[in-house]
């Protein structure tokens, strides 16, 4: 079923219809009554019109920028192009959503944030993993302070892809390539949501796969006053372990990565249904606490995941001027960590973060 109808609709354009557009954006825009998927920029293939026959397929970006009816542009092209296309869309008076990674540098992020303010348009970063069921659950436990004072946390996002991707922009050296710019923004953003900006960053970035020319494995320590957060990602992990391991003065939380939304979307299941994003019970997290020397283990049922809530917020921000859940500044903070991580790897030292 569609979400509650609101009007007028926000006519929206996608700048790409690869996996990102087809799986993570189009279904939520199409099935939300506040939006209309009006146009898609497809350079070669014409697959978008097969899925959405009523949309306009364009071959030039200007056809979208010059269309006064289109209010929102989704910049879901390769990362190295994000700055150029977001800047053009803002200058054309459009509201803009940018896929992660937001930009390739803090400097680019600053320029876009300032331009959006000048143009009086919203600028947001699509950090959809905030609405994964596993992260929603972890965030709830942390916010309820059930672990006491947290002193150590680990967040992992690992896959096994020993064969290089056919997407050359991910595998050829360049500003937007590599795992740190691909999966890195997801877990960096989650850490910043839970714990805020750190005092310093220490990183170890590697290239492990045969013939790989970009980073495909990293470990990053975010260092706070009495808290260390470790972020781990790799493309050479055949058997991933728990994605979230958080220790505090009153207990520990263990949660595996189990959100089912991506697999459902790949099967072309449609969102905004009653049981969307509900994890199977066997993926419940565990809260382990010790009181008076007695250990207690509780299963923590997962909250539902729902990437659609991101677009609910975008609608409210555009139509009702409500605050953005994810702003350009959030994207800039992720870029600060990425730049510091690269500097740490190059100089083999901790890098202080200026807040």
Do residues 261 and 238 lie in contact, with contact meaning Cβ atoms separated by under 8 Å? no
- Residue pair 317/12 in contact by the 8 Å Cβ criterion: no
Query: What's the token pair of residue 87?
Result: 């800047």
Reported as a single tens digit per residue, the pLDDT across 228-263 is 999 999 999 999 899 999 999 999 999 999 899 999
The model's confidence at residue 11, banded by pLDDT at 50, 70 and 90, is very high
pLDDT, tens digit, 9 for 90 and up, residues 195-233: 999 999 999 999 999 999 999 999 999 999 999 999 999
Contacts with 350 (C-beta within 8 Å, 6 or more apart), sequence order:
200, 201, 202, 223, 344
DSSP state, 166?
S
Compute the mean pLDDT over every residue in the chain, rounded to the nearest whole number.
94
Answer whether residue 351 shows pLDDT above 60: yes
pLDDT digits over 152-176, tens only? Answer: 999 999 999 999 988 888 889 999 9
Q: What is the mean pLDDT of residues 14-19?
A: 94
pLDDT at residue 6 greater than cutoff 90: no
Contact 164, 207 (CB under 8 A): no
pLDDT exceeds 60 at position 7: no
Handedness of CA 164, 166, 171, 177 (dihedral sign): negative
Task: State yes or no: pLDDT of 348 exceeds 80.
Answer: yes
Q: Is the peptide bond before 101 cis (omega within 30 degrees of 0)?
A: yes
Least reliable range by pLDDT among 8-12, 20-24, 219-223, 256-260? 256-260
pLDDT at residue 4 in the model: 41
Least confident of 4-18, 20-34, 61-75, 98-112: 4-18
- φ/ψ (deg, to 5) at 300: -110, 110
Complete domains list, the chain, with CATH? 10-128+309-335 (3.40.50.720)
- Percent of the chain exceeding pLDDT 90 equals 87
Please give the distance of CA 70 from its chain centroid, rounded to a whole number.
Answer: 24
| Tokens, residue 216 | 């495909």
pTM over 0.85: yes
Contact 159, 179 (CB under 8 A): no
pLDDT at 292: 80
pLDDT tens per residue across span 74-118: 999 999 999 999 999 999 999 999 999 999 999 999 999 999 999
Q: pLDDT tens-digit profile of 122-143?
A: 999 999 999 999 999 999 999 9
- 73-97: b or e for each residue (b if 16 or more CB lie within 10 Å)? bbbbbbbbbbbebbbbbbebebbbb
Mind listing the pLDDT tens digit for each residue in 27-63?
999 999 999 999 999 987 788 989 999 999 999 999 9
């Amino acid at each position: 079923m569609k979400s509650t109808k609101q009007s007028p609709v926000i006519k929206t354009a996608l700048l790409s219809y690869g996996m990102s557009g087809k799986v993570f954006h189009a279904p939520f825009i199409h099935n939300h009554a506040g939006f209309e998927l009006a146009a898609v920029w497809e350079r070669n293939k014409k697959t978008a019109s097969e899925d959405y026959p009523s949309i306009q397929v364009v071959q030039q970006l200007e056809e979208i920028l010059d269309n006064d009816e289109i209010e929102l542009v989704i910049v879901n092209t390769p990362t190295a192009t994000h700055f150029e296309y977001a800047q053009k869309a803002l200058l054309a008076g459009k509201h803009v959503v940018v896929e992660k990674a937001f930009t390739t540098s803090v400097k680019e992020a600053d320029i876009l944030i300032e331009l959006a303010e000048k143009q009086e348009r919203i600028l947001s970063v699509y950090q959809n993993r905030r609405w994964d069921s596993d992260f929603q659950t972890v965030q709830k436990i942390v916010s309820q302070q059930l672990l006491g004072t947290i002193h150590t946390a680990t967040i992992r996002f690992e896959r096994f892809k020993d064969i290089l991707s056919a997407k050359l922009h991910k595998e050829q050296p360049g500003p937007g390539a590599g795992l740190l710019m691909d999966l890195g923004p997801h877990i960096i953003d989650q850490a910043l949501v839970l714990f805020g900006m750190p005092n310093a960053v220490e990183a170890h970035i590697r290239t492990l796969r045969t013939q790989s020319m970009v980073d495909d494995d990293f470990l990053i320590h975010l260092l706070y006053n009495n808290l260390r957060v470790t972020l781990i990602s790799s493309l050479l992990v055949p058997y991933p372990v728990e994605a979230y391991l958080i220790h505090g003065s009153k207990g520990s939380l263990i949660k595996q990565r189990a959100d089912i939304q991506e697999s459902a979307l790949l099967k072309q299941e449609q969102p905004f249904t009653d049981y969307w994003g509900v994890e199977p019970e066997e993926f419940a997290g565990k809260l382990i606490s010790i009181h008076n020397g007695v250990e207690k283990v509780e299963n923590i049922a997962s909250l539902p995941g729902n990437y659609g809530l991101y677009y609910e917020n975008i609608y409210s921000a555009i139509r009702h001027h409500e605050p953005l859940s994810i702003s350009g500044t959030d994207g800039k903070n992720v870029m600060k960590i990425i730049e510091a991580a690269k500097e740490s790897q190059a100089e083999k030292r901790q890098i202080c973060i200026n807040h």
